[in-house]
Amino acid sequence: MSKLSIILVRPQLGQNIGMVARAMHNFCVQDLRLVAPRDGWPNPDAGPAASGADCVLAGARVFDSLQQAKADCHKSYATAQHIRGMLKPVFTPQGFVEDAHALEAAGARIALVFGPERAGLTNEDVAACDALLTIPSNPDFGSLNIAMAVSICVYAWAVAGGAGTGGSISQPPPAQLSGDELGLATAQQVDGLIAHMAEQLDKRGYFYPPARAQALRLTLGNIMRRPGFSAQEVQTLRGIVRTLSKSPQS
């Protein structure tokens, strides 16, 4: 189980708490802590917005102060849009992940702290944390929805993986599916297709004038050898050429 805790300080809307829970569960982060939620807890708006992440809401704990909420955590990162001139380390989400995963792998519990929707964390809240996390954004429109800010952070955390997360999110797929599994065409199959096309084109005077014939054949080969056709697709293309070579039905 991930040793990352998400702490929401004085959250306002139950709907946002629910969406935060959903984002957490999407990326296998389970521990939600609420400091003095404005409308109390439980909040009836949270459940529908969580869209099934009920386990996170059910496990959420409520604290009177940020200090109490992060008492058992070894390092806390305050999220803030502006850096506020404090003498603390400032991380981007990627930098946070690198810093915190190393600590988590050594057994530390990490707190990621978010402020109220309208105003964000107070300077006092930020001062109580060990470091700052800021999400680079549009300088003219930098206020992120709290659930989206949580999403970006827990996604980065989960993708970075590491021993501490239990490897529980699905592995990133390869950039391209394996050719063997999916039956990529062999060069021979593709060459057969090209020869078939060339034969039918030649019958119709495509390779004309003779001075251009070689260039036209090269172009045809280049196009049809574009990587990635499956054997099945080559069969389909041959069927297409066969069909096109017939006279139209009247």
Query: Rg (Cα) of the chain, in Å, rounded?
Result: 29
For position 159 contacting a second copy by CB under 8 A, the verdict is yes
Task: Identify the bridge partners of residue 114 per DSSP, sorted by sequence position.
Answer: 8
For position 127 contacting a second copy by CB under 8 A, the verdict is no
Contact region with a second copy (CB under 8 A), list: 5-13, 106-114, 187-195, 220-228: 220-228
Candidates 48, 68, 166, 212: give the one binding a second copy (CB under 8 A): 166
Find the Cα–Cα–Cα–Cα dihedral 127, 129, 132, 133, rounded to 10°.
Answer: -140
CB atoms within 10 A of CB 183: 12
From residue 169, how far is each of 19, 25, 139, 159, 172 by CA, in Å? Answer: 19, 10, 32, 8, 9
For position 34 contacting a second copy by CB under 8 A, the verdict is no
Cα gap 25→196, rounded to integer Å: 54
> Quick one: tokens of 135?
């999400």
For position 178 contacting a second copy by CB under 8 A, the verdict is no
For position 137 contacting a second copy by CB under 8 A, the verdict is yes
Candidates 107, 209, 210, 248: give the one binding a second copy (CB under 8 A): 248
Contact region with a second copy (CB under 8 A), list: 39-47, 61-69, 108-116, 217-225: 217-225
For position 214 contacting a second copy by CB under 8 A, the verdict is no
For position 164 contacting a second copy by CB under 8 A, the verdict is yes
Candidates 204, 209, 210, 211: give the one binding a second copy (CB under 8 A): 204
For 113, the 3-state DSSP assignment is strand
Element (H, E) at 96: helix 93-105
DSSP H stretches of helix in 162-207: 179-182, 187-203
Choice between 40 and 89, CB closer to a second copy: 89
Cα gap 112→153, rounded to integer Å: 9
For position 82 contacting a second copy by CB under 8 A, the verdict is yes
For position 237 contacting a second copy by CB under 8 A, the verdict is yes
Contact region with a second copy (CB under 8 A), list: 69-77, 86-94, 105-113, 187-195: 86-94
Smallest distance, a second copy to C-beta of residue 63, A: 26
